[in-house]
Amino acid sequence: MAEPTGVEASDRTFGEVVLKMDSIEVGFGGVTAIDNVSFDVRRGEILAIIGPNGAGKSSMLNCINGFYKPRSGSITFKGKTMKAMDPHYAASNGIARTFQNIALFRGMSTLDNLMTGRVLKMKKNFLWQCLYWGPAQKEELENRAYVEKVIDFLDIQAIRRTPVGRLPYGLQKRVELGRALAMEPDILLLDEPMAGMNVEEKQDMSRFILDLNEEFGTTIVLIEHDMGVVMDISDRVVVLDYGRKIADGTPAEVRANKNVIDAYLGVPHED
Amino acid sequence: MFYREAGIFKTSYAADQALFRIPIDKLFVIGLIAFAFIVIPMIGNEYWLGSILIPTLILSIAALGLNILTGYCGQLSLGTGAFMAAGAFMAYKFATNLEGMPIILVILLGGLSAAAIGVAFGLPSLRIKGFYLAVTTLAAQFFLLWLFQKVPWFVNYSMSGVPTAPPREAFGFLVTGAEASPTARYIFVLGFTVVLGLLASNLVRGRIGRMWMAIRDMDIAAELIGIKPLQTKLSAFAVSSFYCGVAGALWSFCYINTVEASAFDINRSFTVLFMVIIGGLGSILGAFLGAFFIFLLPIFLNSAPGWFGLSIASETIAHVEFMTFGALIVFFLIVEPAGLARLWGITKEKLRLWPFPY
């Protein structure tokens, strides 16, 4: 991290607000995991959510794609305001995600995992599928063609037919990203995409994220603990601490924010 | 099989997605089916066709059904026998109350009725998982058998309570009931097995199969991808019960020739479950391997001493048979917990590298 890249990032232009989280509160029993947090996501940006462990980052992603229902607050997605997201609605309207602990379908091959990402794009009914013929076969092949594009993009041709349970960790993370990409998402939620990776794998993953954002215009919301990566690739950073939002701005602003330094980094950041 | 993929190149996704990706595989399966249809009826005697192959094929259909539910969708079920009984009794009702109905349709309707019942008993699967779900399907097992035994409507108020399967013809041959020739019944059952086997392999490699496996492997991720858990699980229950129902109807109509609940007790459920586990969960091939293994092994153990000229008292043979059978099951599960189908896959992988496995 030779110099801050926030300056470059600020030259980029973004579209309208595609997702608006308004006064979200999430609790489990007596614990309040997220307390009155609001932020918005603009089309085409890379937004990082950071914060210490237990700050509510993953819970926030879970709210965005409907796995958790907020106690209060509202979510506005593509102009529609709702109290809580429904997982199926989120998936069919272009929200895809990866998980902190890899949540691949371990018994299936890489190809089948990616094809599973396409289930919502496939409509042919059950009887056609029994026959695997005519329209159903045509549909399979069209989706296969799309999945192959994702495979090419991620450079995982060689492991197409390998059961994902046998793959090394870094590749599993990549396949999981591929599964999310197969859904043709508008918003991609990445929960610690670089956790447990070595430097090279992190570089690869960062490159994929930037390429995705540039080539396909995918909006990306990511949670990451590697500050170097976060500051380098994100356009905007939201900082959570104990379920509250303590900062929201460009990497340069956040880096200079007194609250963030106190709460999260602990010491003044110098490198 | 014992040959390699080398030199086989695919130039289209259609070829790569084909059911048999290697041409010789396809030839082998077609050859096997042709052998089963043409040669076996000629060389097989009444005992082999009527008492061994017919029940094995029927149980393979049931094992396919249970494998779809347990192996592919991950929902443990002990209600196989009940769903088979539902198929048998409903097919009997259709066959006797609607005289002119073709027997193939009767059996399919039996399967569809079993599917409807399966869906009803699959409803708890949304909330209940694993062993607890197995216990709720056990409820289906006991409740349905009790129902079929206690309500005389199901057996058309027959005095004995165990009506015989009505004789029916398909394509001009008598295929059901005691008077039908074993050859005709065998071909009839084989036809069902082949068609249902092909349909099952198509299902599991397509969209719905991937949805089932997604639910099995990681239900939360599946839901966030947009797969609806309840519908997907219920579809697995429906397809699985359909297969079991068809198997049950065939069991009553083509094998034991009577419609009775006691043929579908909890032991039947366990037998089919063992077939699926031994054969390989989540494998179509495994369903067949398991059915043949579990059904044929005791017969083999029973007759093997005779082949070597050993005369052993029949009770001793029975005991040895049980012991060997149990030991073999334990042996196979230790060698390969994922079943015979996986063992087969590993053998193929090793042979591919042989004799230079480096």
pLDDT tens digits for range A54-105: 888 999 999 998 999 999 999 999 989 999 999 999 999 999 999 988 899 9
- Look at residue B248 and give its three-state secondary structure: helix
pLDDT tens per residue across span B226-247: 899 999 999 999 999 999 999 9
Whether residue A69 is contained in a domain is answered as: yes
- Tokens read off for B202: 């198509």
- Res. A1: pLDDT tops 60: no
Report how far residue B244's alpha carbon sits from residue B107's, in angstroms, rounded to the nearest whole number.
Answer: 11
Q: Are residues A198 and A269 in the same domain?
A: yes
Q: Are residues A208 and A232 in the same domain?
A: yes
- Residues of A near B (CB-CB distance < 8 A)? 65-67, 87-88, 90-92, 96-97, 99, 103-108, 112, 115-117, 119-120, 122, 124, 126, 129-132, 136-137, 140-141, 144-145, 148, 179, 183
Q: Are residues A168 and A130 in the same domain?
A: yes
Mean pLDDT in chain A?
Answer: 87
Q: Are residues A8 and A89 in the same domain?
A: yes
- Domain span including residue A213: 1-94+185-271
B 193-222: CB under 8 A from A: 199, 202-203, 205-208, 210-211, 213-214, 216-218, 220-222
Of A149, A164, A183, the residue that ends a domain is: A183
- Res. A2: pLDDT tops 50: no
Whether residue A127 is contained in a domain is answered as: yes
Q: Are residues A200 and A248 in the same domain?
A: yes
**Nearest chain B alpha carbon to A144:** B13
CA angle A37-A39-A42, nearest 5°?
Answer: 160
- Res. B321: pLDDT tops 50: yes
Q: Of the candidates B202, B216, B225, which has its C-beta nearest A130's C-beta?
A: B202
Of A148, A168, A183, the residue that ends a domain is: A183
State residue A155's pLDDT score: 92
Query: What does DSSP say about strands A46-50 and A219-223: parallel, antiparallel, or unpaired?
Result: parallel
Q: CB A97 to CB B235 under 8 A?
A: no
Show residues of chain B in contact with A166, CB under 8 Å.
Answer: none
3-state SS string for B217-260: HCHHHHHHHCCCHHHHHHHHHHHHHHHHHHHHHHHHHHHHCECC
Q: Of the candidates B13, B207, B226, which has its C-beta nearest A88's C-beta?
A: B226
Q: Which helix (H) or strand (E) holds B36?
A: none
**Inter-chain CB pairs, A–B, below 8 Å:** 99
Q: Are residues A129 and A199 in the same domain?
A: no
Report how far residue B167's alpha carbon sits from residue A120's, in angstroms, rounded to the nearest whole number.
Answer: 47
Of A130, A157, A183, the residue that ends a domain is: A183
Residue A151: CB atoms within 10 A of its CB come to 22
Substitution target in A129, A148, A161 with the highest count of B β-carbons within 10 Å is A129
pLDDT tens per residue across span B165-192: 888 888 878 888 778 888 999 999 999 9
Residue B132 makes CB contacts below 8 A (sequence gap 6+) with none
Residues in chain A, overall count: 271
Task: Choose between B172 and A193: higher pLDDT.
Answer: A193
CB under 8 A, 24+ apart: contacts of B330-334: B332/B278, B333/B277, B333/B278
State residue B192's pLDDT score: 95
- Tokens read off for B106: 């009767």
Tell me the pLDDT band of A185, cut-offs 50, 70 and 90.
very high
| B163, B92 contact by CB (below 8 A) | yes
Give mean pLDDT, residues B82-96. 94
State residue B358's pLDDT score: 66
- The residue type found at B248 is G
- Look at residue B206 and give its three-state secondary structure: coil
Q: Of the candidates A91, A104, A131, which has its C-beta nearest B202's C-beta?
A: A131
CB half-sphere exposure, A33, CA atoms < 13 A: 18
State residue A3's pLDDT score: 43
State residue B6's pLDDT score: 65
- Look at residue B14 and give its three-state secondary structure: helix
pLDDT tens per residue across span A229-248: 999 999 999 999 888 999 89
Whether residue A159 is contained in a domain is answered as: yes
User: Would you call the peptide bond into B355 cis, given omega within 30 degrees of 0 as the criterion?
Assistant: yes
Give mean pLDDT, residues A3-10. 46
Instruction: With CA atoms as reference, report the closest residue to A216 among A253, A186, A238.
Output: A186
Crossing angle of helices B266-279/B54-66, nearest 10°?
A: 80
CATH label of the domain that carries residue A65: 3.40.50.300
Q: Are residues A206 and A176 in the same domain?
A: no
Q: Are residues A1 and A113 in the same domain?
A: no
Q: Tell me how close the Cα of A31 comes to any Cα of chain B, in angstroms.
A: 23
- Res. A271: pLDDT tops 70: no
Give mean pLDDT, residues A188-212. 92
Crossing angle of helices B314-335/B284-307, nearest 10°?
A: 140
Q: Of the candidates A91, A126, A141, which has its C-beta nearest B208's C-beta?
A: A126
Mean pLDDT in chain B?
Answer: 88
Show residues of chain B in contact with A144, CB under 8 Å.
Answer: 13, 16-17
Show residues of chain B in contact with A142, CB under 8 Å.
Answer: none
| B226, A88 contact by CB (below 8 A) | yes
Q: CB A116 to CB B208 under 8 A?
A: no
Residue A48 β-bridge partners: A222, A237
Instruction: With CA atoms as reference, report the closest residue to B70 among B243, B223, B328, B296.
Output: B243
Query: Tokens 């890379």 appear where?
Result: A46
Show residues of chain B in contact with A124, CB under 8 Å.
Answer: 207
- Of the segments A107-111, A157-161, A192-196, B62-66, which one has the largest average pLDDT value? B62-66
CB half-sphere exposure, B277, CA atoms < 13 A: 15
Q: Are residues A90 and A113 in the same domain?
A: no
Residue A46 Rama label (left phi>0; alpha psi -120 to 50; beta): beta
**Nearest chain A alpha carbon to B199:** A130
Give mean pLDDT, residues B13-35. 83
Count helices and strands (H / E) in chain B: 16, 2
For chain A, how many structural domains are there in total? Answer: 2
- Res. A9: pLDDT tops 70: no
Which of A188-192, B155-159, B232-236 bottoms out in mean pLDDT, i.e. has the lowest?
B155-159
DSSP 3-state helix, strand, coil percentages of chain A (rounded to 5)? 40, 25, 35
Whether residue A131 is contained in a domain is answered as: yes
Q: CB B217 to CB A105 under 8 A?
A: yes
Whether residue A39 is contained in a domain is answered as: yes
Task: Give A109's DSSP letter.
Answer: B
Q: Of the candidates A96, A106, A132, which has its C-beta nearest B202's C-beta?
A: A132
Instruction: With CA atoms as reference, report the closest residue to B152 among B87, B89, B244.
Output: B89
First CA to last CA distance, chain B: 22
Q: Are residues A18 and A77 in the same domain?
A: yes
Which of A25-29, A154-158, B87-91, B158-162 bottoms out in mean pLDDT, i.e. has the lowest?
B158-162
Query: How far from the centroid of its chain's Cα atoms is residue B275's Cα?
Result: 8
Show residues of chain B in contact with A116, CB under 8 Å.
Answer: 210-211, 213-214, 222, 225, 227
- Tokens read off for B242: 């359909």
State residue B2's pLDDT score: 52
- Res. B47: pLDDT tops 90: no
Share of chain B above pLDDT 90, in %: 45
The DSSP string of B115-179 is HHHHHHHHGGGGT--HHHHHHHHHHHHHHHHHHHHH-GGGGTT-SSS-PBPPP-EETTEE-SSTT
Query: Tokens 């956790």 appear where?
Result: A195
- The residue type found at A140 is E
Give mean pLDDT, residues B129-156. 90
Q: Are residues A18 and A138 in the same domain?
A: no
